[in-house]
Structures are given as structure tokens and as C-alpha cells.
Homo-oligomer: A and B are copies of this chain.
Amino acid sequence: MKLLKEYIRHSGRVIGNDILKVDSFLNHQMDIGLFQEIGQEFKKRFSENKITKILTIEASGIGIACITAQYFDNVKVVFAKKNSARNLNSEVYESQVFSYTKDTHYNIKVDKNYLCPADKVLIIDDFLANGNAVLGLLDITKQAKSQVAGVGIVIEKSFQNGRDSILDKNVRLESLARVKSLAGGTISFVD
């Protein structure tokens, strides 16, 4: 996706050899005009699928998922919760995720009322690195016996193993920008 790559080249900042900061437009400050273009691109790529629900994870997936949902027909968004709020229903699907960014394990949870076998799910997230968050979401859809149409990622770090982890599960993956390398502070893309 050309516009997205321009945003990344123009406003992304590289830290070390593997961290790409895009918090000026994607995951802290959010550029809604860009999100609309992202949403339309996901719709284009998954147009032949009868998506019934978009599943994401708090916090930075939520904005992209909500804007994207508008381009599908009557699709609700569900976000997996990371923290055990006191008022979350006790009947939940649950999976454990390891976060490299925060160097800790955490549980993600989805209320059983909001995913069912009749659902055809599009999983959306802002970043794909090692793929652990997406694998957790896939585990939850499996527990719910929902179908998965695929995974839509805004930025994939293709030099990490998230892509392989997802393809190994025979799940379709669409990443709108695939970063080949951040070595030496230079951003290069696959293709």
C-alpha cells in the first residue's frame, strides 16, 4: 500500500535494528484519514469473504478495526482484553501471549457471548512481529469454533517470524506494508 509506505518512510523512526516507531500516525496519535485508506484496502483484499466480525486486541488495534468495519456490511468489532477488569463476564475464551515489547506474559480474554461458530472472523492488528498476539487471537477463534477469513496487518516486520507462524496454521495473511529490514536505521520494504 503506497500511501502507507510513504507515511512510514516520512514519519517512522528506527530505534536500534528492530524497533520501528510509528506513533505519530498509527498507535498513539492516530491519523484517521490514513485509517480510512487502510480500511478500504482491507475491504478490497477480503471483499470475497462474508466477514461477520472483526476481532482485534487492545489497545492499538481498536481504532484501525473500528474504521475498517465501516467498509464491511454490518460487522461488529470485538477486542480481546488484556487486563482482568472486575466487570468482565467470567465466561470467557482465554489465551496466553508473550510480549517481547514488554517482556512479559499476559492473558487475553474474549467474552463467550461475542464469538460463535456462525462467525466468519477477520483478525486485524497494527503490527506483526513475532506473531504472538495474532496466535493468541487465533487460539480464541478456535475455542469459539468460529471460522477465520484471514489476518489483516498494517505493518509487518518481515525479518521476524510472525508471518511463518501464521502461514503454518494455514491462515491467510494480508500485510499492507512489509518491512524487510531496519538495519543501520534504514527502512526497506519487501518487493
Contacts and interface: CB of A to CB of B under 8 A. Distances in A.
B78 A29 contact: yes
Given A21-B89, A28-B111, A30-B66, 4 more contacts: A31-B76, A36-B70, A59-B59, A62-B63
A88 interface: yes
Nearest to A19: B87
Q: How many copies does the complex hold?
A: 2
A33 interface: yes
B85 A101 contact: yes
Query: Among the interface residues A28, A30, A85, which one has the most CB atoms of the partner chain B within 10 A?
Result: A28
A2 interface: no
A98 interface: no
B102 A85 contact: yes
A79 B114 contact: no
Contact of A21 (B30, B87, B110): B87
Interface in A6-60: 15, 19, 21, 23-24, 28-33, 35-36, 58-59
A28 B81 contact: yes
Contacts of A66: 30, 32, 35, 62-63, 66-67
A100 B67 CA distance: 30
Interface in A72-97: 74-79, 81, 83, 85-89
A74 B33 contact: yes
A113 interface: yes
A69 interface: yes
A103 interface: yes
B59 A28 contact: no
A77 B36 CA distance: 13
B23 A89 contact: yes
A86 B75 CA distance: 33
